[in-house]
A and B are shown apart, each in its own frame.
Chain A
Amino acid sequence: MRIPDIELLWWAGCPSTERALAELRAALDDVGLAGAEVRMTRVRDDHGARERGFVGSPTILVDGEDVAPAGDEDVGLSCRLYRRRDGQISPTPGREGLREALLRATRGGPQEVKP
């Protein structure tokens, strides 16, 4: 299986980084990529946010693609808002969404993953 490039952009003003990383690690495990490297990139200031088109922390890129493509969010230092399938607002994308993004990257489309 091809190992995609995985990057987690984070900002220190948000408490969700640890949880997002844990979700990402769990999702990697789900798709058989438990040992994959996750590049942690800290966004420190407005300049850095503009440079990366950073729309909030955490932002997770798989092969450079945002796992939850940004809508009309402003670029800047903030906590990112994710909306789960059940409508719940969350500060992280969630294991399920991450798993699907990883599957798309590794196999070319979402597939069922047995728990």
Chain B
Amino acid sequence: MTVSIGERAPEFQLPDTAGQTHSPDGAAATVVVFTCNHCPYALAWHERIVEAARDYADRGVRFLAINSNDAQRYPRDSYEAMQRRVAQEHWPMPYLHDSSQEVARAYGAQVTPDVFVLDGDRRLRYRGAPDSAYDDPSQDAAWLREALDAVLAGREPERPQTEPIGCSIKWRA
């Protein structure tokens, strides 16, 4: 399955690293980022996503990071490893564990990072990469920010879809 631009994104309920459950409802806009602990692309973009989460928090935007990788084959993506990382790095967004991989499948997530911007009605308004260059921090998650600015202004993003670049999600065999 995958979600198309303009469609309602699937509902989900996933636990964060403290055991609290989160869903993609109730905010003016929600950013769902499929990510993980060891992918160089996810890590290279991480700080930019974190900065965007901080910058947009006051504007009613909620960020939800989701790790869907198979932790059995990739222990660095275990729930415990997620907990350690969040404790060390002071994340401004919850880091959710998709142990069944059902949410990644429902969204059609392919790689880490894979960014989905939902409006207040949970309709998908942007899907793709945070910006055009993982190796250029000055890009500052520009595509993600553009999409959020549009959604918050009640407009369609000019660039609703880009190609997500990153490590393939590690599906269970």
Contacts and interface: CB of A to CB of B under 8 A. Distances in A.
A79 B76 contact: no
B41 A79 contact: yes
Contacts of A90: 40, 44, 135
Interface residues of B, number: 17
B26 interface: no
Given A14-B167, A14-B168, A90-B135, A76 B39 contact: no
Interface in A47-86: 74, 76-82
User: Chain A contact residues: over half helix, strand or loop, or mixed?
Assistant: loop
Given A13-B167, A15-B165, A90-B135, A81 B76 contact: no
B12 interface: no
Contacts of B44: 88-91
Interface residues of A, number: 17
Given A14-B168, A90-B135, A79 B75 contact: no
14 contacts: A13-B167, A15-B165, A74-B76, A77-B170, A78-B167, A78-B170, A79-B39, A79-B40, A79-B41, A82-B40, A88-B135, A89-B44, A90-B44, A91-B134
Interface of B: 38-41, 43-44, 73-76, 134-135, 165-168, 170
Nearest to B73: A76
B74 A78 contact: yes
Contacts of B168: 13-14
A81 B40 CA distance: 5
B25 to A, nearest CB: 33
Interface in A1-42: 13-16
Contacts of B39: 78-79, 81
B68 to A, nearest CB: 14
Contacts of A74: 74-76
Interface in A82-113: 82, 88-91
A79 B167 contact: yes
A104 to B, nearest CB: 24
B43 A89 contact: yes
